[in-house]
Amino acid sequence: MNPVLNSLFARRSIRKYTRQEIPDTLINDLLEAAMAAPSAVAKDPWHFIVLRSRAAIDQLAASLPNGKMLAEATAALVVCGDITRAHDQELSFLLQDVSAAIENILLAAHMLGLGGCWLGIHPREERIAAVSRQFNLPTSIIPVAGISLGWPAEKKEARTRFNSALVHHEQW
């Protein structure tokens, strides 16, 4: 692994957190990083719901079967996209744009010493409906993912899952 890329290789899904609160300034840093992501035709269709209260974080956890780590998280984000703002109002562009923002959040969290974990909402219709209801989303807003956030209570080694069998040159 190239050591210049260590921050990227060291970013791992963190599911155990301390109870230490995350300062608002760091949450703002994560949102700035998210909105620095590329988006098709610079449409920036993303929206973010910041969850700080235990009740709101638990409410998100109730809709996400794989969101057990939210019980320890001191903050969470619901990352959404506005289909009316996506390039050509295409779901595929919305998902690509919002996913780039999510990855920026996860990388920024790691670089700031925080831990985070991406929790899929889209394309599970029952999750989309539950989160939309819980957080009063307008009909044009599609919840794509949740992100649990906290100060890490676990350490994972840097790694890559590079597999040369998945790389093709010039053609398949």
Tens digit of each residue's pLDDT (9 = 90 or more) over 7-45: 999 999 999 999 999 999 999 999 999 999 999 999 999
Domain boundaries, the chain: 17-153
| pLDDT tens track for 77-97 | 999 999 999 999 999 999 999
Q: What is the pTM of this model?
A: 0.97
Domain 17-153: give its CATH superfamily: NADH Oxidase (3.40.109.10)
| CA distance linking residue 1 with residue 9, whole number of Å | 8
Query: What is d(CA 136, CA 94) in angstroms, rounded to the nearest whole number?
Result: 20
